[in-house]
Structure formats: C-alpha cells, structure tokens
Amino acid sequence: MIIIFLAILMASTLCAAFIIHQPYRSIHTPGCFISSNRHNLQTIAYRLYALSTNNNDDKDTATTTIIKDELASHYTSKSILSWLQKMADSYQIEEDEELLTVLTREGSIIIEDTDNNIEDDTNQLLKLAKLCAQTNLSIASHDFLRSKNEAIYNYGNIAFLSNFGYEWDEFVELPSSKCVATQEDVDERQKLLDSRLSNKANSSSDDDNDTDDTQSPQYDNLIRVRKDGTQIVLKGVHLWNVYDITLQQKEEQDEGSSTSEEVRRIRRQIEQGDIKAIGQAVWIDHIEPL
C-alpha cells in the first residue's frame, strides 16, 4: 500500500507541472472542492490513499473528510470552544471514550494542516472544533440555559445544518422542538430526552466492568423535519448529556483501569445530583430523506 501511495503522490506532482498555468481551475472530488495546485493535488493523493486503505465494511460507502484550516469564525469562537470542551468532557464521562476518537473512527477523517503538530490543550481544542464542524457525521446540541421552558439549539455542524436546511444564525436561536412536525412528535421526542437525562449513562457506575450495560442507547429511524417542511430519517443517533465540567487530569489514571479517579468522582456527583446537565448533544451516523 505504501508503494501505491508513493506512486499516486508522484503522479500528482507531475500533474501539477502541466496545470500550474491554471491556478484557479477546480477539481471536484466526492465531499470536497479543491483548487488545482501542487499542494492540493498532493492532498488528493493522501485522500485516494486513505480510501484505498479503508476496509470498514459496515459503511455503505467509503467516506473521507479532509479537514482544512479555513472555517467560518463562529465554529472557533471563544464561546463555542468552551461549549465543545464541555461536550467532549461530558462524552468521556458518560461513554468512557474521547469524542475526538469517535469522530476520527466513525467519520473517517483526515486532518490537513495541523498547526505544526503542537499537542497543547489549545491546539487540541481547535482540532476538535475543526473535526466537529467538518466531519460527515451530523453533530448538534441544545442548552437549557437561555429559557426555562424549552431547550434551544446552540450548535450545529456543517453536515447537520445542511441536512436540516438552516443557516447558523437562525439555527442557534431555534427551539430544538421545532425539528419535529406535530405535537405528538414533540411529546415523544421530549420523553426520549427526559429518559436520557434520568439515565445518566455511566455516571452511576464506579465499576469499569459495568460500563457496557450502562452505555447510552443508539436510537434509529427517528423522523424529523427540515426547515422547508420535508421529513427526514435519522439513523444511528447517539445522545448524551452535557455538564458544566472541565476534566483536568485526563492522563492520571489508576493502574489497570481505563477510568481516572476524577471521572469516577464526577460520576458520583452527577448521580448524587450535585452536578446537573446544562444541555444535551448528539452525533448522527446517517440522515436520509423519508
């Protein structure tokens, strides 16, 4: 496979010499729109290599997202970065897995231009923001902070907004109940959300061996409505609660345990009611028209 990759990379470099006089011509490849220059042709080579090594038979098609630095400013604003940190830490609390790992595995993501590979906390958070925004997985969240009566969306990535037909500015002011068509659907959806709030996933378990029984369920075939009124089907919906927490000691774990003492302490506080959810978030494997 390495030989194939090197051959593709060399071919892309040779092609660049022939089209360098057309720097603004574009090449369209599935999932991206890339200008024809040497750097981006090499990026395509990386993409083709990734596709050639993708052996995930569970996916209907091989999907690879190339993450770029160019991104709308609201996806990396201070408030969104802070919220994403809470989303990620809460996911680790409830699912015992890092959100960044899930996005990389489930979304088949390639990271391009990674800020010189500096692995400090700030850079890792920016990386998470780029992955959340541009993955092919639909990601959204709502909070309970701006209204006492209903949850309001406060985040939707590019895939989610496209699937639901909204622009960012209107979406982050929208009550999340507007994503269903009828009052009956609103009530059913609320039961699902309330059930997730009361479940708390792994928060009630201090035993790492019990986590398989307390993982949050995956919801399938949920009917939702786009802005234009057309209905869509959500498949593989992973829902978790978001707490006002920040994990400080992610690397300090007990020997032989995958769960740090800090995580266990926070889970106990959640179970005792000392820490309450301030919102909920989802990542969705696939959305299709009804």
In the predicted structure, residue 36 carries a pLDDT above the cut 70: no
**Burial tier of 251 (Cβ tally within 10 Å: 0-12, 13-18, 19+):** exposed
Whether the per-residue pLDDT at 107 is higher than 50: the answer is yes
Of the pLDDT bands very low, low, confident and very high (cuts 50, 70, 90), residue 128 is very high
For residue 238, what pLDDT is reported? 96
List all residues 6 or more positions away from 18 whose beta carbon is below 8 Å from its beta carbon.
Answer: none
Compute the distance between CA of residue 155 and CA of residue 172 in angstroms, rounded to an integer. 6
What percent of the chain shows pLDDT beyond 90?
Answer: 53
Q: pLDDT by residue (tens digit) across 176-187?
A: 999 998 888 889
Instruction: Give the pLDDT confidence score for residue 129 in this predicted structure.
Output: 95
Cα 133 to Cα 61, 75, 104, distances in angstroms? 21, 7, 13
* pLDDT, tens digit, 9 for 90 and up, residues 191-237: 999 999 987 544 444 444 444 444 555 688 999 999 999 999 999 99
- Residues 194 and 177: beta-carbon distance below 8 Å: no
Residue 15's pLDDT band, with cuts at 50, 70 and 90, is very low
Statement: residue 261 has pLDDT above 80: yes
Where do the domains of the chain lie?
2-53, 75-289
Pick the CATH number of 75-289 from 3.40.190.10, 3.30.450.20, 3.50.50.60, 3.40.50.150: 3.30.450.20
Q: Say which range, 38-47, 87-96, 112-121, 223-232, has the weakest mean pLDDT.
A: 38-47
Q: Burial, 154: exposed, middle or buried (Cβ in 10 Å; 0-12, 13-18, 19+)?
A: buried
